[in-house]
Chains A and B, each alone.
Chain A
Amino acid sequence: MDPLLGEAGLKLLLMGNEAIARGAIEGGVHFVSGYPGTPSSEVIMSLSKVSSKLGIFVEWFVNEKVAFEAAFSASSAGLRSMVTMKAPGINVASDALLSAAYAGINGGMIILVADDPGPHTTQTEQDSRFYALLANLPMIEPSTPQEAKDMVVWGLNFSEEVGLPVILRTTTRVNHTSSDVILGEIHRFDRKPKFPRDPPRYIRASMKWNLDRHIWLNKRMYFVDSIASNCPFNILDLKGDIGIITSGVSYNYVLEALGRLNVDSCSILKLGLTNPIPTKVLRDFLSHCRKILFVEELEPFLEDRIRAISTTFGFGNVFYGKFDGLLPREGEFNVEIVENALSRFLGLKHEINSSTISSFEVPPRSPIMCSGCPHRSSYYALLKAIRDSGFKREDIPIFGDIGCYALSLQKPLEAIWTEHCMGASISMALGLKLSGYDKPVIATIGDSTFFHAGIPALIDAVHFDANIIVIILDNGTTAMTGHQPHPGVGFKADGSSAKYVDIVNVVKGIGVEKVEVIDPYDIPQSIEAFKRALKNESSVYVVVARRECAILARRMGKHYHKVSVNYDLCRKCKICISTFACPAMYWDPLKGPMLLEQYCTGCGSCAYVCPFKAIEVS
């Protein structure tokens, strides 16, 4: 049986995101939406396996803004909802977020935003906690998978009680940590959606109403503060007059570091509710402790505000944390970082440094495009077309976007010049062209990213009749985050069939007149298409490079061709490695190119790359 459906009282190993999914089930959620993004994706991926059994709507949407608005509408109509996203996703959804705070909700709503201190897989180390201040909404932060699950249940009830969406802010080390979790009761609420007709709440066109709702929201948050000290996830442990204030995953590091230092006298305030900061609990702590250290990852979010509160009420505490450099604002914490900060804070002479350093240099192992990845073939053909058309590489900017194809930044292709944010490849190419750049400019964007944020920019490119090249790398999935579906594939999150939105029709519908569809595995055809695009002297030129993701093809049992090396023809020039470097090809210093059968998908692209026809396809 699926662990998400286990009986109450069972103790199971769950990943943080599975625990969040279970929490949503226990809390009686009706509607779950999101856009894939590490480290948040497993919540919907695991929920979608049981959604039909439980009668919960669980779906991937085209982007975080649409996902947010859909969940907000469900909660306005009285259902319980949850929307999931990685940190940059809340930037995309933020327009809707701020208005949602003015409207409030009727059914409980959880906004899961997964931050990524480290960073492990995110473009910035954004501290999304500031959105709780910006939107003026309650926020909870779990320390462990167990707490994450329990917080979803509590948060759905609390959200409904106070009439406001609740932000559940996690970090990678909670989302992706697995732990023993004790399951709770599953609650179901039989509710029919009914959207309330209440113009002052839902129409932001009247400035008087907006002012009234702003007053309403602030009053709600005073009410939240008045009951905030009841939040079971705030842990107040009063001991000596030296204290630590912490939240989220850092709480674990504090407990472990104090144990390792054999210190048992510190008072600890661990905040589960971090907006509003519960006034009563905080005052108890500030009046008890003289000297206080803040242990929180990224920005001094709690520190800034608690320093101000302490000053306002004249507690006279002495604070340590980010401003004195005891703890960094960048990167993620670990036990050592916290242990060193604590020992300096407590005046202990104790510093941990790793004594074991390898005497050998460990070769770097960057993530690369998979063997048989169609993106490798696309970029190879594009770079060849640029050279064959007489351009210098440094004169033709290739704007990149977010997805696996950004790995073309690695040697030997080193293709993309930028990877900025979702959809920016097309807008940045457009901006450069409209600035008066007189050589071709190229945008490369994946299928899911095109749907997410590429379409508006392409509309402007058509509207301004800008002569840019847009290459849509269509591998039929959202590959980077674990192969979630999108509108350009014919199925939904649970695998059931859905209407297929063809990218070519979208592009033509926008008004692009020059559209070509190529198969990246046909490298000569691809090169010719890219050459035509580079010769094009007016208006937008779109090339859709269409071929399924190599991982999916392998899972479906596809093997395209039999590929082999003919060593009689091989001259050991190493061009197959130095220009293409598919990981299914290994270079043996004595034998030359070695095909690794277990990785080769048989795409045959390497056969074109070899100038001596020593790689044979049959």
Chain B
Amino acid sequence: MLDEFNILICGVGGQGILTLSRIIASAVVKCGYSVRVGETLGMSQRGGIVQSFIRFGCKVFSPLIPLNGANVILALDYVEALRALKYASNKSTILLNSSFIPPISVVLGDYKAPSLDEVKSSFKSITEKVYVVNADEIALKIGLPVAANMVFLGLLSKLFPDILPSNVLREAIVENVPSRYINDNLTVFNYGLNLNLSE
């Protein structure tokens, strides 16, 4: 049994982060782990920052991931990933969506947003395992523009098949997604599961 496994999902309100973390957490409960999910809720619907901490294993108590303690950082918005940098270590796997939703501070011209390459290199200086995924494009190509989160879920299962087995994740999708979206979500999930990663 794992002592501890920590997944940090970050992005912006409306990207399906809370659904994604609920699917992962209910799947690991099925696998027999003790789990804690700490979330930023509240004003997330209003274009705010969303961070979800999923922790599981037999030595997990706190709902917050310790500094440098993330096994995975999954960013649905690559600029938001930078806010999670302090949780990364040389053991972390970083999954970056290639898209970015500009916050009002950038739109008004008060701040400049770092580029995808800059974000990537920030993480590269910490860990080898940094991957960029065109999840929005993939989801759009399949015809489900809001299902980018499922691309990442498939990828997670591909990268960590023993910890997050695809059959359990599929069950969790069925239980946590409104019935009319289940098949679409499973399609995108399978696509993510078979995706070839390049760094």
Contact = CB atoms under 8 A, between A and B. Distances in A.
Contacts of A404: 46
Nearest to A334: B64
B161 interface: no
A174 to B, nearest CB: 9
A368 interface: yes
Given A13-B29, A334-B64, A363-B113, A368 B42 contact: no
Interface in A411-433: 411-412
Nearest to B46: A367
A578 B108 contact: yes
Nearest to B92: A356
A581 interface: yes
Nearest to B110: A411
Contacts of A363: 79, 103, 105-106, 111-113
Nearest to B112: A363
B133 interface: no
A364 B80 CA distance: 10
Contacts of B122: 358-360
Contacts of B37: 13, 177-179
Interface in A90-139: 120-121
A547 to B, nearest CB: 17
A13 B55 CA distance: 13
Interface stretch (B82-90, B182-190, B191-199): B82-90
B118 A407 contact: no
B46 A407 contact: yes
Residue from B45, B85, B104, B108 whose CB has the most chain A CB atoms within 10 Å:
B104
Contact of A411 (B22, B79, B86, B104): B104
A581 B104 contact: yes
Interface string A470-500: 0000000000100000000000000000000
Contacts of A11: 29
A193 interface: no
Given A336-B66, A367-B46, A368-B47, A120 B40 contact: yes
B181 interface: no
Nearest to A16: B63
A252 B63 contact: yes
A252 B62 contact: yes
A355 B63 CA distance: 22
A366 B62 contact: no
A557 B26 CA distance: 30
Interface residues of B, number: 58
A363 B83 CA distance: 10
A16 B26 CA distance: 14
Contacts of B29: 11-13, 180
A336 B36 CA distance: 17
A396 interface: no
Contacts of A178: 22, 25, 35-37, 39
A581 B107 contact: yes
B159 interface: no
A249 B36 CA distance: 12
A504 B194 CA distance: 59
B12 interface: yes
B68 interface: yes
A358 B84 CA distance: 9
Interface string A559-603: 000000000000000000110010100110000000000100000
B43 A121 contact: yes
Interface in B93-124: 102-114, 118-119, 122
B108 A412 contact: yes
B85 A356 contact: yes
Interface string B26-62: 1001000111111111111111110000000001111
A352 interface: yes
Given A358-B82, A363-B113, A176 B41 contact: yes
B43 A354 contact: no
B100 to A, nearest CB: 10
A369 B67 contact: no
Interface string B141-184: 00001000000000000000000000000000000000000000
A173 B38 CA distance: 7
Residue from B40, B63, B83 whose CB has the most chain A CB atoms within 10 Å:
B63
Contacts of A354: 67-68, 86
Given A357-B86, A366-B48, A586-B102, A176 B39 contact: yes
B116 to A, nearest CB: 12
A334 B126 CA distance: 23
A38 B42 contact: yes
Interface stretch (A198-206, A254-262, A528-536, A537-545): A254-262
A252 B61 contact: yes
Nearest to A369: B46
Nearest to B121: A359
A13 B86 contact: no
A368 B103 CA distance: 9
Contacts of A358: 82, 85, 122
A336 to B, nearest CB: 6
Residue from A178, A179, A249, A335 whose CB has the most chain B CB atoms within 10 Å:
A178
Interface string A371-407: 0000000000000000000000000000000001001
B114 to A, nearest CB: 4
A360 B82 contact: yes
Contacts of B112: 361, 363
A367 B83 contact: no
Contacts of A311: none
Contacts of A249: 63
A278 interface: no
A411 B108 contact: yes
A260 B38 CA distance: 20
Q: Give the top 5 A-B pairs by smallest Cβ distance, nearest first.
A: A363-B111, A367-B48, A365-B103, A367-B43, A252-B61
Given A480-B43, A587-B109, 11 more contacts: A180-B35, A259-B59, A354-B68, A356-B68, A360-B82, A360-B122, A363-B103, A363-B111, A367-B44, A367-B47, A598-B145
Interface of A: 11-13, 38-39, 120-121, 173, 176-180, 249, 251-253, 255-256, 259-260, 334-336, 352-370, 404, 407, 410-412, 480, 551, 577-578, 581, 583, 586-587, 598
8 contacts: A13-B26, A253-B61, A334-B64, A335-B64, A336-B67, A356-B88, A361-B114, A586-B107
Interface of B: 12-13, 22, 25-26, 29, 33-49, 59-64, 66-68, 79-80, 82-83, 85-86, 88-89, 102-114, 118-119, 122, 126, 145
